[in-house]
Structure 1
Amino acid sequence: MMILSLSTKAHLFYLPFSSQMLEETLYVKNSHRHRNLIKYLKDYIDFISTKYPFWNRTSGADHFLAACHDWAPSETRKHFSKTIRALCNSDVKEGFVFGNDTSLPETYVRDPKKPLSNIGGKSASKRPTVAFFAGQPDHGYVRPILLSYWGNNKDPDLKIFGKLLRSKRNKNYLQFMKTSKYCICAKGYEVNSPRLVEAIFYGCVPVIISDNFVPPFFEVLKWELFAVFVLEKDIPSLKKILMSISERRYKQLQMRVKRVQKLFFVACEA
Structure 2
Amino acid sequence: MESRCIPPASVKTLHRNTGLRVQLSDFPRGTPLVLDPLDPTAYLEDTWPQPLHKPLCLPKIYVYPEDPRMGEFQRKHIETHTVYSSEIILLNQLRDPNSVFHKTYVTTNPDDADFFLIPFLGANYLMYCRNHLGHRNDDCEMEKKYVTPMMDHIQSNLPYWNRSHGRDHIIFHPMDLAALYYPTTRHRFLNATFLTTIGDKRFVAYGSQRVRRYHDITIPSATHMPLLPEYDPARFLDDRGFPLETWNHRRDIFVLFGGIYEDVQRTDRYSSGIRALLHEQGFDRLPGYKLSKWWEYGDYAQLLSRAKYGLAPQGWTLDTTRVWEYIAFGVVPVVIADGIIEPFEDDVDWQSFTVRISRSEAHRMDEILRSISEDEYERKRQAVWSHARQMLFTHDTWHLIVRQLCRMRFDLAGMQTLPGGKHVAFDYATVAIQTSMYNP
Partner of 1:118: 235
Determine the C-alpha separation between the residues in 2 that align with 1:254 and 1:98.
Answer: 29
Partner of 1:44: 150
Deviates more, 1:117-126 or 1:213-222: 117-126
After TM superposition, the structure 1 = structure 2 runs for residues 215-234 of structure 1, keeping only pairs within 5 Å, are 215-234=342-361
Partner of 2:291: 160
Q: Which runs of 5+ in 2 are unaligned?
A: 1-103, 265-269, 398-440
Report the AA paired with residue 100 of structure 1: H
Q: In structure 1, which of residues 193, 202, 211 is the aligned counterpart of residue 329 of structure 2?
A: 202
Report the AA paired with residue 253 of structure 2: T
After TM superposition, the structure 1 = structure 2 runs for residues 77-96 of structure 1, keeping only pairs within 5 Å, are 78-93=187-202, 94=207, 95-96=210-211
CA-to-partner distance for each residue in 1:62-88, whole Å, 9 max, x for gaps?
Answer: 000123233434236643322111112
Deviates more, 1:8-17 or 1:204-213: 204-213
Q: Is the 8 Å Cα contact of residues 135 and 161 (structure 1) preserved in structure 2?
A: yes
After TM superposition, the structure 1 = structure 2 runs for residues 164-183 of structure 1, keeping only pairs within 5 Å, are 164=295, 172-183=299-310
Partner of 2:82: none
Deviates more, 1:222-231 or 1:256-265: 256-265
Q: Is the 8 Å Cα contact of residues 107 and 198 (structure 1) preserved in structure 2?
A: no
CA-to-partner distance for each residue in 1:153-190, whole Å, 9 max, x for gaps?
Answer: 0x2133333335x7xxxx93222222221111122233
Deviates more, 1:119-128 or 1:246-255: 119-128
Deviates more, 1:122-131 or 1:242-251: 122-131
Q: Is the 8 Å Cα contact of residues 134 and 161 (structure 1) preserved in structure 2?
A: yes
TM-score (norm 2): 0.53
Q: Is the partner of 2:195 in helix, strand or coil?
A: strand
Partner of 2:395: 266
Residues 15 and 115 of structure 1: CA distance in aligned 2, closer, same or farther (over 3 Å)? farther
CA-to-partner distance for each residue in 1:77-118, whole Å, 9 max, x for gaps?
Answer: 643322111112333444322212112112422354567452
Q: Is the 8 Å Cα contact of residues 178 and 211 (structure 2) preserved in structure 1?
A: no
Report the AA paired with residue 242 of structure 2: K
Larger Rg: 1 or 2? 2
Cα shift at 1:224: 0.5
How many residue pairs align between the two structures?
263
Residues 161 and 5 of structure 1: CA distance in aligned 2, closer, same or farther (over 3 Å)? closer
Cα shift at 1:262: 4.3
Q: Is the 8 Å Cα contact of residues 151 and 161 (structure 1) preserved in structure 2?
A: no
